[in-house]
Amino acid sequence: MLIKLAGATVYDPANNIDGEIRDIYIRDDKIVATPQTGETIHQTYALDGKIVMAGAIDLHTHIGGGKVNIARTMLPEDQRGSARARTELTRSGGGHAAPSTLSAGYRYAEMGYTSCFEPAILPVNARQAHMEMADTPMLDTGGYAMLGNDDLLLQLIAEGAEQQTINDYVGWILKATQCIGIKVVNPGGISAFKFNQRALDVDDLHSHYQISPRDIVRKLSRALNELSVPHPLHVHASNLGVPGNYRSTLATMDAAEGFPIHLTHIQFHSYGTEGDRHFSSAAADIAEAVNSRTNISIDVGQVMFGQTVTVSGDVMAQHANHRHAHPNKWTCMDIECDAGCGVVPFRYRDKNFVNALQWAIGLELFLMVDDPWRIFLTTDHPNGAPFTSYPHLIRLLMERSFRNDLLSQINPDAAAASHLQSLDREYSLYEIAIMTRAAPARILGMTDRGQLGPGAMADITVYHPGGDPEQMFERPMLVFKAGQPIVEEGRISQPVAGKTQVIRPEFDEDIEKRIKPWFDRYQTTAMENFIISDDEMAEGIGSPINIHPCRQSS
């Protein structure tokens, strides 16, 4: 099957194509070079005037796993009013902030997304996360395994284990949990909270292990680098949401000692203590640090106004915030000497000083960080807002007048405390394509995604131009997944299932001699049942794996 997408305006930053009129050819599931003259083209789409990008990639979205299911269970009201009826082609479901898996898959595809990554997979809960993502249709998925609060790693670090041992453990976890990256959430803090510590700054010591978050970040970022895993350590830094936490964020950047790290939902970590209310934007300090250190990448975790639910592995922070729950109910959980989770529903209000400033801080970060290859468009779905607000967010970035109109409507003290009014930058379509396609593919090491060159997977989104960017990104004209049209004019036209994207660094399998006795002595599950095999992924869980290559050693 050979398909031609003819005459579209192409934005493909991975191949330095900025709005050029091109033809794209698809053979089966891949993009191919212009075929030889005379070859039969089975189908041609005349796309004159249309805009073409690779399928979008969300590198940080909570779409699967135990904490999301707790949110669904706790919030029947989130489902009411946003039901999605079954059609001849699609299943029923619904939900706004914590959608059902099926609805999440359909809605992402309808917005032109073709790959999504769950950023907080508890290793003991990995099977569930993959089962939920297997039931999230239309998308390729993947996840980052959470380490750095598991008692085994903390004990290894406390004992002064060799870096090689840490590396082997990290490699083993990636394989056993079928993940593509490693995340650390409030390094050591989730565990410290189990010992009744209520805060753990970067150089504070965990009361039992006598190690600091700095130690954990250093060990893990180095491990991923030495294992040649493309995605740097994905860090949810210490002191989430605490005024003055930008200092912890800068200290976390230092803790990596030059190894690559990715600081996630950095908006929640960019707060100062200035002003009468002792809450201020430190976006400028953070942006300056990101601009000057090339080992750092970030995603924003933009806040949007309205009802959502916050779901996080950071039990320490979530418990501290439970008084802000709206509606007034919340759940926390300590989990299996592995980590934990907290689920707190929340309503961001534009007339509230703190919420309005959070909104402005996120936008300041977007506009003050220079390199779109190192900043990613996220709302930390659903923590800052549901992913369905992405088209609105893109308009805020692309249209200064629209942004300033909204700025004039928020809490006036917050507007006055923000630099946003003075920031003239407007993102181009090329930069949006970098942030939502080319850069996430590159930072995850997926050389065959996020681009439209020959050999790439034919994950492609076609947009109608005209109107404002929100309208354009809300409802693509066409979406192709692996060469197949799956969305036409914003509606699902062909349901498909995706695969799980994983990475497999080399490590010494003898590490199991350390891990198995740990399971036998302390855990209530067997190591053999913790490990998820490739066959189990394909036949039992229902999402076959696709292994991406590690970085070439430099």
Partner 1 sequence: MWNESIEQKINSVTCPGCGLSCDDLSITFAGEQLLSLENGCEKARSFYETALKSSDPTPIVDGSPASLDQALASCTTRLAQSNSPLFAGLATDVNGMRGILELGDLCGATLDHLNGDAMFRNLRVLQDNGWFTTTFSEVRNRADLVVLIGKQWFDGFPRLVERVLNPQDALFVEAGQRKIVLLGPWSPDSLPEDLASINPLLIPMENESIPDAIALLRSLIADKPVPPTRLGEQTGELLIGLASQLQQANYSVISWSAAEFDVPHAELSILGFVELAKTLNEKCRSAALPLAGTLADITSNQVTTWQLGYPLRTRLQRGYPEHDPILNRWQGLIARGESDLLLWTSSLSPLTPPPDSEIPTIVLGHPGMSFKTPPSVYIPVGIPGIDHHGHWYRSDAVCPLPLSKLRRSKLPSVADIANLLSRQLLTASGVSERGVRC
How far apart are the C-alpha atoms of 245 and 268, rounded to whole Å? 9
CB of 448 to partner 1, least distance (A): 22
> For 129-155, b where at least 16 C-beta lie within 10 A, e where not — what string?
bbbbbbbbbbbbbbbbbbbbbbbbbbe
Question: With respect to partner 1, which residue has the nearer C-beta, 66 or 505?
Answer: 66
CB of 172 to partner 1, least distance (A): 17
CB of 494 to partner 1, least distance (A): 8
Question: With respect to partner 1, which residue has the nearer C-beta, 513 or 521?
Answer: 521
Question: With respect to partner 1, which residue has the nearer C-beta, 64 or 119?
Answer: 64
Tokens of 269: 């970590």
Please name the residues in contact with 112: beta carbons below 8 A apart, sequence gap of 6 or more.
Answer: 53, 55, 56, 461, 463, 473, 476, 479, 487
Work out the burial of residue 270: count CB atoms within 10 Å of its CB; fewer than 13 is exposed, 13-18 middle, 19 or more buried.
buried
CB of 322 to partner 1, least distance (A): 8
Tell me the three-class secondary structure of 369-410, residue by residue.
CCCCCCEECCCCCCCCCCHHHHHHHHHHHHCHHHHHHHHCCC
CB of 135 to partner 1, least distance (A): 6
Question: With respect to partner 1, which residue has the nearer C-beta, 208 or 464?
Answer: 208
239's torsion region: left (phi>0), alpha (psi -120 to 50) or beta?
A: left
CB of 32 to partner 1, least distance (A): 26
Question: With respect to partner 1, which residue has the nearer C-beta, 136 or 167?
Answer: 136
Question: With respect to partner 1, which residue has the nearer C-beta, 65 or 272?
Answer: 65
Work out the burial of residue 464: count CB atoms within 10 Å of its CB; fewer than 13 is exposed, 13-18 middle, 19 or more buried.
middle
CB of 93 to partner 1, least distance (A): 6
Instruction: Tell me the residue type at 57.
Output: I
Tokens of 254: 């230092």
CB of 279 to partner 1, least distance (A): 24
Question: With respect to partner 1, which residue has the nearer C-beta, 224 or 335?
Answer: 335
Question: With respect to partner 1, which residue has the nearer C-beta, 6 or 332?
Answer: 332
Nearest partner of 498 among 483, 487, 482, judged by Cα: 482
- State whether residue 14 is helix, strand or coil: helix
How far apart are the C-alpha atoms of 209 and 274, rounded to whole Å? 34
169: how many CB neighbours lie within 10 A of its CB?
23
In this structure, are residues 224 and 184 in contact, taking their beta carbons and an 8 Å threshold? no
